[in-house]
Amino acid sequence: MNKIYNLISEIKIGQMSYRPYIISNFNIGSIAILDILYQEGYIGGYIVLTTKKSHPKIKIFLKYINNSPLIHDLVAISTPSNSVFLSVKQIWKLANTKGLLILSTSVGILSDDECKRLNIGGKVLIGVL
């Protein structure tokens, strides 16, 4: 969970300082989150950098529109001390909100749209505005 929080803070800092890309530590959970952010159009993409001497890193390409960051806010909703779970019914009620929720489900890490399509709920990890 701490690795997800590190990824969130690195993306927020990179967006605020208008960097074209950031480099983060490799993590399977981070890859799943980055896949969702890429599919929804919030980042330009990512590549996994491997070297023989060090641990793998991820190069994340950030996206801007009219010199304004595409991700206005990235919030960790569930914390280690307070887990927030949503049922499918609750996700459908949030359907009119702008942004994206990333949930950890029994199927894996999914976006709120995928959870609605598969009719499953889960633990809310990140909210993107």
pLDDT tens by residue, 13-28: 999 999 999 999 999 9
Distance CA 12, CA 31 (A): 17
> Which CATH architecture fits 2-69?
2-Layer Sandwich (3.30)
CA neighbours within 13 Å on the CB side: how many for 23? 6
Question: Are 102 and 110 a contacting pair, CB within 8 Å?
Answer: yes
pLDDT tens by residue, 91-106: 999 877 788 999 999 9
Model confidence at 2: pLDDT above 90: no
List helix spans (H) across 2-124.
2-16, 28-39, 88-93, 112-118
Band of the pLDDT at 54, cuts 50, 70, 90? confident
Which fold would CATH assign to domain 74-128? Dna Ligase; domain 1 (3.30.1490)
- Per domain, the residue ranges of the chain are 2-69, 74-128
Question: Are 37 and 43 a contacting pair, CB within 8 Å?
Answer: yes
Which strands form 21-25's sheet, in the order they lie side by side?
A: 21-25, 57-62, 43-49
- Most confident residue range from 49-53, 66-70, 91-95: 66-70
CA neighbours within 13 Å on the CB side: how many for 69? 19
Distance CA 107, CA 16 (A): 33
